[in-house]
Structure 1
């Protein structure tokens, strides 16, 4: 049984006020704990072990220079390239997918578009487990569009233009509220990916022009607040702010991008940023034409 010595209503109101004022602090503390414990995860120990192993391999190669020196260099190059297998992010695959998704009449082929996003998701995952909230959202949106493509009206979801024409003609797009009795519209779903694409485009471009002394945390956060952050609520913005503090160093990004040197990094990033920008601009203009940039 509850005690009969209940607090008066004024006391309850005051307590509630104090609790509400403490909520932002508690949320921030929780996110900070997540950030700090992130560095104790097995994947970081595994990364350190892999780096140590790589250093030992390089030392061993230097100690065994009895053979042809050019053969040793070629061997190292092959070993580095083999690390960039299909399970890891490859910027060349990203570039090819987004380049091929644009048609001659500037439409977007959704299958190739999703293939480009599958590569970008690998990049997001490589940023660290704390970015899982963004990766999960991307995965969910990709699955929704794939379900539309595999459904009875799949042929209407071949390209962005055909999807928009079909959904507008059949009242699939709901401009006032989210649909509760059917799969979310492809137009609304792709708009979420479109917003995230802008963040990654800005991020990769800032990385391209950055120097060794630039902070990856600042670059990531600035790109986020200029794009995707505008569409997120307070809590998600704070979570993202903590997540960006855990971004890898610039040298680690070179490993993520599977590139060899600074010049190769700038060239490949320049090509990727350009092709992503073209896809983004075509999508932006198409959504503007049909007044769908503010879909709920």
Structure 2
């Protein structure tokens, strides 16, 4: 627990780990979606209101119902999931950068400049139009510094942050890999 802050790395890990289906391949939607909801009460979100239990069941259900179109954009859970999936990759890459030690000259990669920008170029920029990529460059300038991100995981020094960040990165990697496999299997990775 990190007193005095809303974000808790422990809760993030709990949701990531509880989203892993026992079959070793699927992702359960209820704990996964709680990662971005402020609260179930505020969002009027109840698990019993949704038909889909997992990523696989949602993909298969929407394909069967014709809710996914590969030629033009449609409002579908699969398309929204794909956006979330890409954002998860961005977060994972950013945390990987934060977990690394200094370079040969003793300097760390910096926030808000190189870490988020480098991750964005790989994970999100290829899927964004030019205008949005330019807006992202402005947003990077407004991001807080490295120390702020370290405080989010309740540490003060890099030596303390690295093991904590690696645990989070591992959990993010498992969720990302499972989701990637499902999306790839059903050709969902390049939805318009």
Scaled to the shorter chain, the TM-score interval is 0.7 to 0.9
**Could you tell me the TM-score, scaled by structure 2's length?**
0.85
The reply to whether residue 97 of structure 1 matches residue 15 of structure 2 is yes
- Structure 1 CA distance for aligned equivalents of residues 92 and 2 of structure 2: 25
Higher relative contact order (CA 8 A, sep 6+): 2
TM-superposed deviation, 1:82: 2.2
**Could you tell me the TM-score, scaled by structure 1's length?**
0.57
- Structure 1 CA distance for aligned equivalents of residues 157 and 67 of structure 2: 48
Q: Corresponding residue for 2:53?
A: 158
The reply to whether residue 249 of structure 1 matches residue 142 of structure 2 is no
Question: Which of the residues 141, 153, 164 maps onto 1:268?
Answer: 164
SS state of the match for residue 36, structure 2? helix
Equivalent residue pairs, number: 181
Residue-by-residue CA offset, 1:249-296 (whole Å, 9 max, x unaligned): 222222222224433311111011111011111111111111111111
- Structure 1 CA distance for aligned equivalents of residues 158 and 144 of structure 2: 17
Q: Matches of residues 44-193 of structure 1 in structure 2 within 5 Å?
A: 81-84=2-5, 88-105=6-23, 106-118=25-37, 151=49, 154-155=50-51, 157-179=52-74, 184-193=75-84
Decide whether the 8 Å contact of 1:95 with 1:116 is kept in 2: no
- Structure 1 CA distance for aligned equivalents of residues 60 and 156 of structure 2: 45
More helix by share: 1
* RMSD of aligned alpha carbons: 2.2
Q: Corresponding residue for 2:128?
A: 232
TM-superposed deviation, 1:207: 0.7
SS state of the match for residue 258, structure 1? coil
CA radius of gyration, larger in: 1
C-alpha change, 1:279 and 1:81, in structure 2 (3 Å) is closer
SS state of the match for residue 103, structure 1? coil
- Structure 1 consecutive aligned stretches of length 4 or more whose deviation exceeds 3 Å: 210-213
